[in-house]
Amino acid sequence: MKVTPSIHAIRHSFRIPIGPGMNLDRFVYSYLVYGNTITLIDTGVAGCEKEIFESIRSTGRDPSEIALIVLTHSHPDHIGAARAIRQMTGCSIAAHTAERSWIEDIGLQNRDRPVPGFATLVGGPVQVDHELVDGDTIEPDETRAGEMLVFHTPGHSKGSVSLFLHREGALVSGDAVPVAGDLPVYDDAAASVKSIKRLRGISSIRVLLSSWDEPRAGDAAYRQMDSALEYLQKIHEAVLASAGDGSPDPIVLAQRTAAALGLPPRVVNPLLARTFAANLKVRNKKNLLADF
């Protein structure tokens, strides 16, 4: 799907096994930035290289033109096909310094942050060639989108980055902007709020390109970020109410909080429990939006 003159979006559908005979249907976006060569932002899960290559061919280009993959962070639905694409094209890989260890050692990631079906979602480790930090610029050659400005947007993960392609007003936010009512995933509630507020402060966004949401153009991009902030506050209040004055078992806390938010019981797992528990680190802050 063409979203700007030089940016194409690819929606990847996949399933996460969450129990015997039970799967969670998910999707994630990756983005192609066309110039003399092709820059790919995120790769989907293992096997998504087929969709990416087919999409490139459908536009009259060749997958061998992929020169750079930028990974917004190290989670399975973003790095899953990176190894296969690297092997097929010889492209370079760029990611934030704080994500490098989990990209290059997927066993370490799986131990530190177990995800159901991890082995089926990630095609293998891949070496990071370029470490990104806040304020860096990436300059794909002769692309109409121009240079990409790197924003370090932690919260969802320590080294999450967003990319602003200023000529086309396109903000690629990875998973930094949660979708209200959807399954929340973050490690740091306060950092998530700060990151969204920082992105919300960019005055020239014409289209918001998230990983877990459809492209949002014009004012809808800013409304989506406002909605994300409100959702984080709603989650925070639900966690604090569910925890009370104590420190309940993380899974029990997740069950109570999910029920309060209207999330189905089947989505409660250690990863969701980890997300909700992150709010307890700032339980003295009742209003995240005002305090951060």
Query: Looking at residue 74, what is its pLDDT?
Result: 98
**Closest by Cα among 138, 132, 194 to 166:** 138
Domains of the chain: 7-234 (3.60.15.10)
Q: How many CB atoms lie within 10 A of CB 58?
A: 9
Query: Looking at residue 164, what is its pLDDT?
Result: 97
Beta bridge partners of 30: 10
Global pTM value: 0.95
Query: Looking at residue 252, what is its pLDDT?
Result: 95
Query: Looking at residue 260, what is its pLDDT?
Result: 96
Dig out the tokens for 155 from the structure: 């919260």
Is 123:163 a contact under the CB 8 Å cutoff? no
Is 228:47 a contact under the CB 8 Å cutoff? no
Residue 75 to residues 121, 142, 245, 263, Cα–Cα distance (Å):
10, 30, 33, 22
Is 236:279 a contact under the CB 8 Å cutoff? yes
For 158, residues 6+ apart whose C-beta sits below 8 A from its C-beta are: 98, 99, 187, 188
pLDDT in tens, the chain (292 residues): 999 999 999 999 998 887 677 778 899 999 999 999 999 999 999 999 999 999 999 999 999 999 999 999 999 999 999 999 999 999 999 999 999 999 999 999 999 999 888 999 999 999 999 999 999 999 876 555 678 999 999 999 999 999 999 889 999 999 999 999 999 999 999 999 999 999 999 999 999 999 999 999 999 999 999 999 999 999 999 999 999 988 889 999 999 999 999 999 988 989 999 999 999 999 989 999 986 5
Dig out the tokens for 210 from the structure: 């998230």
Dig out the tokens for 227 from the structure: 């909605």
CA–CA separation, 175 vs 157, rounded Å? 9
